[in-house]
Amino acid sequence: MNDTRGFQHGLTNYGDPDFSLYLRRSFAQSMGYSREMLGKPVIGIAYTPSGFNNCHRHFPELLDAVKRGVLAAGALPVEFPTVSLGEVFLNPTSLKFRNLMAMDTEEMIRAQPMDAVVLMGGCDKTVPAQLMGAVSAGRPAVMLVAGPMMTGRHQGERLGACTDCRQFWARYRAGGIDATEISTVESRLATTAGTCAVMGTASTMACLAEALGMILPGTSAIPAVHADRLRAAEATGAAAVRMIGSQLTPERIVNVKSVENALRVLLALGGSTNAVIHLTAIAGRAGIPVSLGRLNELSDTTPVLVNLKPVGSHYMEDFFAAGGIGAVLRELKPLLHLDCLTVTGETLGERLANDTDAWVDRTVIAAATEPLEPQGGLVALFGNLAPKGAVLKRSAADADLFEHEGRAVVFSSLADLSARVDDPALDVTPQDIMVLQNAGPHAPEAMPEAGYLPIPKKLASAGVKDMVRISDARMSGTAFGTIVLHITPDSASGGPLGLVRNGDRIRLSVKRRRIELLVDDAELHRRARVMPRPPMKPTRGYAKLYADEILGADEGCDFGFLKPK
Ligand code: FES
């Protein structure tokens, strides 16, 4: 630890470094630290509890355990707050603020005196935001995730946020349950601390963080309330101390090979479509492009192994008990780059060689020789409707709709959708393709999780469960259906999705990886010439920064100026 600098690192500039150090020590002593403690290396802890973040409500207890690990390993733990993003408490959507949290995390790691940092995150956007910031900050960093919620029960049925939130809401919309029952269900969906209980975005990102090598082996799926989560927190604190002065910085751990490993794991999990955007953003901070073409190549050769909601039938607590991400990595071993470094200093290959807990519950995690699906859960689509690509979670879709041509039923905005989707006079049939425009990253709503367009009430009550739905929006990782997302370029930046009109024919072919608008180019050019002017951009604050700098989904929706030159 000779090369550590602790509180001496990055002095406040008063033009006299000795005075700066004297002043800093003096003020630090006002917090009750002894001289001995102030002489130790410092582990910063990016700490994100918030009254607006239910998923992080156990962070005070986890923080105690991290600090215990840091102290026992000989360093001084110092937590600091950053932006926290509670998924359902943010308007218009948490994605708009992911880059703000990433900037906050990066700058606070860089500006404050710490030798290494523990990143405590969990809820959807917090993990990618912290990893993006840490990659850019370039200081040794190890992640600790919140861990998933436990399931609840309703009339003998297991409930887990948030796939079951949607299932019950769909039943309610279709008239299958009444207002009293949906109100009871509401109080039983999310009953413990932790992140959503299925393989949604938060759990997917936790697993990808482990696949990237950024969190301790075996810790991504431990339930939030399990004692092992506290032991993981203690071990993470100790690991951060071991990383001081090492070359184990995030921009080295996140490299071309580890990003490809993470994509393989994403495909094997049948994980969240949001993870494609977040992984692209994290990799982008290390200067690594993620191509949707490559995603398709990997998807063709990666089996789906994990039987979890929203695609399958189990929950994250079952995944943990079944063997967790270690079991998935062992099955994928022949497909992975085993020379990738992890935060422990071991390579992935060494980690798997030392992984002796070979018991696996095969009802939850399939063997690669007997996969749930022979090909990956996600597929990228291209065509004149999505020149820079779109994403479909085929593992959560209805295979009968994979080769489908239909008539477009267009909603020009989220407001238009909510105003008309349940109108009994809406001209729509189950064979139509529902189109939502102006819900991408350049729209004022900042790419909300609105791609899961509700089935129009008159069709839902007639028993229709799925239709092809396409948009430039995202979809919650906990949702399901034949839903084409992230169409890029998006409508608000002039993409062809904005040129679709009611009654146009659209063709989806998962086999050919195509999404096409069957309207000739001359007509599309004519429509483009008469498009209404885009709304005025915001003129101040973060909203202006967002509007000026946001990149498309193909670049992870990062800000242009945050990417390395
Ligand atoms: Fe936080 Fe789902 S609301 S992970």
Structure tokens at 481: 């259906």
Does residue 368's CB lie within 6 angstroms of at least one atom of ligand 1? no
For ligand 1, the distance from its centroid to the CA atom of residue 166, given in whole angstroms, is 14
The class that CATH gives domain 379-533 is alpha beta
Write out pLDDT tens, residues 270-321: 999 999 999 999 999 999 999 999 999 999 999 999 999 998 999 999 999 9
Interacting residues of 378 by C-beta distance below 8 A, sequence separation 6+: 266, 267, 270, 271, 273, 276, 295, 299, 391, 392, 393, 394, 395
| Mean pLDDT of all residues in 480-488 | 95
3-state percent helix, strand, coil for the chain, nearest multiple of 5 = 40, 15, 45
For ligand 1, the distance from its centroid to the CA atom of residue 334, given in whole angstroms, is 33
The residue whose CA has the least distance to atom 3 of ligand 1 is: 87
Q: Ligand 1 pocket test: which of 52, 55, 125 has the largest number of ligand atoms within 8 Å of its C-beta?
A: 55
pLDDT at 359 over 50: yes
**Residue 541: which H helix or E strand, with range?**
helix 541-549
The residue whose CA has the least distance to atom 2 of ligand 1 is: 196
For ligand 1, the distance from its centroid to the CA atom of residue 201, given in whole angstroms, is 8
Does residue 55's CB lie within 6 angstroms of at least one atom of ligand 1? yes
For ligand 1, the distance from its centroid to the CA atom of residue 267, given in whole angstroms, is 21
**Length of the chain counted residue by residue:** 565
Q: What is the DSSP pairing of strand 403-411 with strand 514-517?
A: unpaired
Does residue 87's CB lie within 6 angstroms of at least one atom of ligand 1? yes
pTM confidence score: 0.96
For ligand 1, the distance from its centroid to the CA atom of residue 87, given in whole angstroms, is 6
Neighbours of 488 (CB within 10 A): 23
Does residue 195's CB lie within 6 angstroms of at least one atom of ligand 1? yes
CB 514 within 8 A of CB 403: no
Q: Where are the domains of the chain?
A: 40-150+192-353, 152-186, 379-533
Does residue 123's CB lie within 6 angstroms of at least one atom of ligand 1? yes
Does residue 348's CB lie within 6 angstroms of at least one atom of ligand 1? no
| Mean pLDDT of all residues in 456-483 | 92
Structure tokens at 243: 């990383």
Between CA 116 and CA 242 the distance in angstroms is 9
For ligand 1, the distance from its centroid to the CA atom of residue 38, given in whole angstroms, is 37
Write out pLDDT tens, residues 427-460: 999 999 999 999 999 999 999 999 999 999 999 9
Handedness of CA 27, 31, 34, 36 (dihedral sign): negative
* End-to-end Cα spacing for the chain: 32
Confidence of residue 564 (pLDDT cuts 50, 70, 90): very high
Does residue 386's CB lie within 6 angstroms of at least one atom of ligand 1? no
The residue whose CA has the least distance to atom 1 of ligand 1 is: 123
**Whole-number mean pLDDT of the chain?**
95
DSSP 553: G
| Mean pLDDT of all residues in 504-528 | 97
Write out pLDDT tens, residues 203-254: 999 999 999 999 999 999 999 999 999 999 999 999 999 999 999 999 999 9
Structure tokens at 274: 């949001």
Interacting residues of 66 by C-beta distance below 8 A, sequence separation 6+: 45, 77, 118, 120, 144, 233, 234, 236, 237
Cis peptide bond upstream of 162, omega within 30? yes
Does residue 88's CB lie within 6 angstroms of at least one atom of ligand 1? yes
Backbone angles phi, psi at 168, to 5 degrees: -70, -35
For ligand 1, the distance from its centroid to the CA atom of residue 401, given in whole angstroms, is 30
For ligand 1, the distance from its centroid to the CA atom of residue 549, given in whole angstroms, is 26
Confidence of residue 2 (pLDDT cuts 50, 70, 90): very low
Atom of ligand 1 nearest to the CA of 478: 2
Q: Is 240 left (phi over 0), alpha (psi -120 to 50) or beta?
A: alpha
